[in-house]
């Protein structure tokens, strides 16, 4: 995790955190699960979370909920993201912040699975 170097960076982190909290407090159509395991954090899960929050800030939050998860098994490598729409889960593993942005834009918002990156289907 990088150090915060300016008051602007701190404000941006505060805005992202507040937006994140809003997404956890309502009924939603799409749930976004993101790994936040301490070990995976060194591999970029925090950056994936921040990229996801940033992408969602550009859009309407009313249909989204972000849920932090720990590791879910040896077949899903982190950082991972799972999108739940209509009770169906699609998993994406070993994702980068840029991949997270595209997954949000394509799958979470438009409902189009990013097949090249999807690693598993099923329940969480």
Domain boundaries, the chain: 30-122
Show the beta-strand stretches assigned E in 4-114: 30-35, 64-69, 81-85, 88-92
pLDDT in tens, 13-27: 888 777 767 656 556
- Cα separation, 105 vs 15, in Å, equals 20
Fold entry, domain 30-122 = Glutaredoxin (3.40.30)
What pLDDT does 90 receive?
92
Q: Which token pair is 124?
A: 């969480």
Q: For residues 67-94, give the mean pLDDT.
A: 80
pLDDT confidence tier of residue 67, bands split at 50, 70 and 90: confident
**Segment 96-121 mean pLDDT:** 91
């Amino acid at each position: 995790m990088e150090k915060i170097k300016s008051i602007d960076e701190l404000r941006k982190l505060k805005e992202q955190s507040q937006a994140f909290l809003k997404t956890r407090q309502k009924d939603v159509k799409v749930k976004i699960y993101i790994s936040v395991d301490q070990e995976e954090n060194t591999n970029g899960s925090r950056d994936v979370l921040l990229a996801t929050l940033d992408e969602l800030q550009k859009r309407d939050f009313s249909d989204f909920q972000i849920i932090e998860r720990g590791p879910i098994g040896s077949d899903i490598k982190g950082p991972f993201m799972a999108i739940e729409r209509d009770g169906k889960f699609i998993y994406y593993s070993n994702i980068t912040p840029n991949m997270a942005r595209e997954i949000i834009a394509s799958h979470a918002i438009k409902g189009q699975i990013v097949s090249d990156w999807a690693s598993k289907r099923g329940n969480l």
